[in-house]
Amino acid sequence: CYIFQKGCGRKDCHHILNSSPSFDNWNVLIIVFTEMRDKLRKWREDNHRNSEQIVDVGEELINEHASKLGDDIWIIYEQVMIAALDCSRDDLAWTCLQELKRQFPGSQRVKRLAGMRLEALEKYEDASKQYDSILQDDPTNTAARKRKISILKAQGKSAEAIRELNEYLEQFVGDQEAWHELSELYINEHDYGKAAFCLEELMMTNPHNHLYCEQYAEVKYTQGGLENLELSRKYFAQALKLNNRNMRALFGLYMVSSHI
Amino acid sequence: MGEVELSCLAYVKMYLHGCLFPRCSVNGLLLSSSPAGGAVCVTDCVPLLHSHLPLAPITQLGLTQVDVWCAQTQQRIVGYYQANACVSDNSPTPCALKIADKIAEQCNNAVLLMIDGGKMSPDYRVPPIVMYERKDTRWTLKDKHTIMLRQWEETREIANQLLDSGDHSLLVDFDSHLDDITRDWTNQKLNAKIAELASPANAFTAALPPGGGTVSIVKFTWISLTARGRQQTVKSMSINHMLLELHRMKRQWLRDPASTNIEIQCLTDMTLR
C-alpha cells in the first residue's frame, strides 16, 4: 500500500489501518513484510534447506500478514509446512496442511504433503499407502514415487531404495535430482563404479557444472588404480577450469598428481 | 585395555558437530595433548566432514593437515568419531573402520567412537556415545567402566546452552573450511567460548569457608522468556551446575533485562569439606 492514510480503500491494507502507529512505523511494517516475502521467495527458488529460518520468517508472515499476501499464501503454506516438518514443528505443519486442504480439496499435491507429514511422524506404512493412492489415480506422478524411495532410505533399506530408484530412472531418464541421489546411495554402499556411472550421466547433461566434475574425480580417486587416477586428474583439472575457486578440486589435483 | 577419558571440550564439539548437520553423517578426529602411554585422554577433537564420508581425497587431505597441525601443537591423533545420518543405526560403517585402522597404525590405544543419535536429547542421563577399541584386528565394544567423562552434567549443560544460543553455528568443520578457506577448522573461537563456560570462576564465585563449612544447596527456578514467549524452567542441584546457570542467567540478563525473571529458593543445608 503506497497510501499511508487511514481510510485508504485498498483491501489488502486494513491491517495497517486498524492500528494507528506513526507514519514511520507504517513504513517499517511494509518494508519488513516485503523483505520477508522476498526472502522466502529467494529460498524457494534456490531450493535452500534452511528450515529453521524458513519456519521463523514464514510463521511470522502467516500469523501477522496473511491478508497482505494474496495468492502467494498457498505456496508459502507449502514451503513453511515442509520446513516445519524438517524442524519437528508438527503444530505448524498441521495448521498449514489444514489451510491447504480447505483451499484445494482432493489435490494430489496436498495429498503428497499429507504423506510427508506421516513420514515425519515415522508412520511409514500410512505414508506409503497415501503415496500408493496418489499413484493409483496418476501412475506418472514422479513426486509420490520419489517419496516412496525416500521412505526406504529413511528405514535404512538402501539396497531396496537403490533398486527402486534404478527402476524409476529407467522410466524418467532425465531426472537430475534422481541421478544425484542414486550416486549418493552408491557411494554410501561403497559401489564406486556405479556411482561413477551416475555422475557420468549428470556430467553429460550438465557439462558446465564444476561440482559434478569434482565429485566424479573424487570417486575415481577413491577407486584407485593407475587408469582411474589419471581420469581423476583430468576431471579435477576440468573442474578447476570451470571454476578456479573450487578448493576441493585444487587440493584433489595436487594429491592425485603426487600419487601418479 | 586402557582407560579412556573424554574431555568436556571434545564432547561438546562432537555434539555440536552432530547438531549442526542433523541430516548428514558427520565424522571427525579425536586428539590428545597428553604423552603416549597410560590412559588415553582425549582433550580435543577436529570435526572433519559432513558429506561424502566414504570418498578418499578429502579424508586423506584432512588427516594430513590435522597431522601437521598436531605435530606443531604437541598433540596426537588418538581416535575417530562418527555420527550416522540414520538415527536408528549407530554401528560403524566400513569407511569408519578403515579410517580407524589407519589411526591405530600410528597410535596403539586408538578409539573409535560412534555417536548415538537417538539418545542426543538435552536431558539424557548418560553420554550418547558408543566406544570401540581394537582387540587383535577387530574393533570390539569397550567396557563402559573404562570410559570416563568428568562432570557429565556440566558438560551436557554447556552443550545445551551453546545449542540454545545458536553458537553451534560457529563450529567450522573441514568441509566448511574448504567451502570458505578463511574459516578456521581448529575452532579457536569456539574453544575459547567453551573454556569460558566450563570455568566456573568466570561466574559468580561462591566462597567456601576454609576447612569446610556449610553451604546451602540452592534450588532455583529461572523463568526466561525467549523471543517466542516460551518459558524455560531450570532446576539445579550441584554447585558447579548452579554456577553455570548463574553465568548463563547473567548473560541472558545482560542481553535483555526485561525478559528474565529470577527466583531463587534455598532448599537444604549441607556440609562440605
List, as one string, the DSSP characters of B191-245: HHHHHHHH-GGGSPPPPPPTT-EEEEEEEEEEEEE-TT--EE-----SHHHHHHH
The terminus-to-terminus CA distance of chain B in angstroms comes to: 35
For A148, A221, B57, B143, the CA distances from A253, given in Å and listed in that order, are: 39, 10, 10, 43
Distance from C-alpha of B234 to C-alpha of B157, rounded to nearest angstrom? 11
The answer to whether the CB of A36 falls within 8 A of the CB of A61 is yes
Domains of chain B: 4-197 (3.40.140.10), 215-272 (no CATH)
pLDDT at B135: 84
What average pLDDT does range B162-180 have in this prediction?
90
pLDDT at B270: 43
Q: How far is A152 from chain B (nearest CA, A)?
A: 12
Helix (H) or strand (E) holding B113: strand B111-115
Interface contact flag, B55 A154, Cβ < 8 Å = no
Q: Which three cell numbers stand for residue A231?
A: 581420469
Catalogue the E-assigned strands of chain B: 4-6, 26-32, 40-42, 44-47, 76-83, 111-115, 129-135, 138-141, 147-148, 213-225, 231-232, 260-272
pLDDT at B163: 87
Number of CB pairs < 8 Å for A and B?
A: 45
Q: Which amino acid, residue A185?
A: L
Interface contact flag, A156 B23, Cβ < 8 Å = no
**Site from A150, A222, A235, A257 to mutate, B interface, most B CB atoms within 10 angstroms:** A222
- Sequence-distant (6+) residues with CB within 8 A of B104 are B110, B134
Q: Which three cell numbers stand for residue A174?
A: 532425465
pLDDT at B122: 80
A204 or B149, which is more confident?
A: A204
Interface contact flag, B178 A255, Cβ < 8 Å = no
**Site from A152, A232, A255 to mutate, B interface, most B CB atoms within 10 angstroms:** A255
Secondary structure of residue A249 in the 3-state scheme: helix
Could you tell me what percent of chain B has a pLDDT over 70? 73
Residue of chain B with shortest Cα separation from A183: B52
Mean pLDDT lowest for which of A174-188, B118-132, B175-189, B257-271? B257-271
List CB contacts (< 8 A) between B95 and chain A. Answer: 190
List CB contacts (< 8 A) between A221 and chain B. Answer: 55-57
B52 or A23, which is more confident?
A: B52
Task: Provide Rg for chain A, Cα atoms.
Answer: 24
Burial of A112 (0-12, 13-18, 19+ CB in 10 A): buried
Interface contact flag, B94 A190, Cβ < 8 Å = yes
- The separation between CA B1 and the C-alpha centre of its own chain, rounded to angstroms, equals 24
Interface contact flag, B86 A154, Cβ < 8 Å = yes
Sign, CA torsion A8/A13/A14/A19: negative
Interface contact flag, B56 A190, Cβ < 8 Å = no
Nearest to B106 by CA among B73, B138, B139, B77: B77
A31 or A135, which is more confident?
A: A135
CB nearest B56 (choices: A156, A215, A221): A221
Distance from C-alpha of A200 to C-alpha of A212, rounded to nearest angstrom? 8
The terminus-to-terminus CA distance of chain A in angstroms comes to: 66
When pLDDT is cut at 50, 70 and 90, the band that residue B90 belongs to is confident
Mean pLDDT of chain A: 87
CB atoms near residue B47 (< 10 Å): 27
For A28-55, the pLDDT digits (tens) are 666 678 888 888 999 999 888 888 889 9
Interface contact flag, A247 B52, Cβ < 8 Å = no
CB nearest A218 (choices: B23, B52, B94): B52
A48 touches chain B (CB under 8 A): no
Residue of chain B with shortest Cα separation from A181: B52
Residue whose grid cell is 524411495: A149
Catalogue the E-assigned strands of chain A: none
List CB contacts (< 8 A) between B117 and chain A. Answer: none
pLDDT at B243: 64
B19 touches chain A (CB under 8 A): no
Instruction: For the sheet with B4-6, list strands across it.
Output: B40-42, B4-6, B147-148
A251 touches chain B (CB under 8 A): yes
Interface contact flag, B56 A156, Cβ < 8 Å = no
Is the pLDDT at B207 greater than 50? The verdict is no
A49 touches chain B (CB under 8 A): yes
Distance from C-alpha of A12 to C-alpha of A39, rounded to nearest angstrom? 20
CB nearest A188 (choices: B54, B57, B179): B54
Nearest to B68 by CA among B210, B242, B186: B186
List CB contacts (< 8 A) between A255 and chain B. Answer: 57, 60-61
Burial of B233 (0-12, 13-18, 19+ CB in 10 A): exposed
Is the pLDDT at B152 greater than 80? The verdict is yes
For B106-133, the pLDDT digits (tens) are 888 899 999 998 888 887 888 888 999 8
pLDDT at A14: 42
Q: Does pTM surpass 0.90?
A: no
Q: What DSSP character marks residue A46?
A: H
B94 touches chain A (CB under 8 A): yes
Q: Which three cell numbers stand for residue A189?
A: 554402499
Q: Which three cell numbers stand for residue B167?
A: 553458537
- Sequence-distant (6+) residues with CB within 8 A of A214 are A235, A236, A239, A246, A248, A249, A252
A222 touches chain B (CB under 8 A): yes
When pLDDT is cut at 50, 70 and 90, the band that residue B42 belongs to is very high
Q: How far is A25 from chain B (nearest CA, A)?
A: 21
Residue whose grid cell is 574393533: B139
Residue B110 CB-half CA count within 13 A: 27
Secondary structure of residue A209 in the 3-state scheme: coil
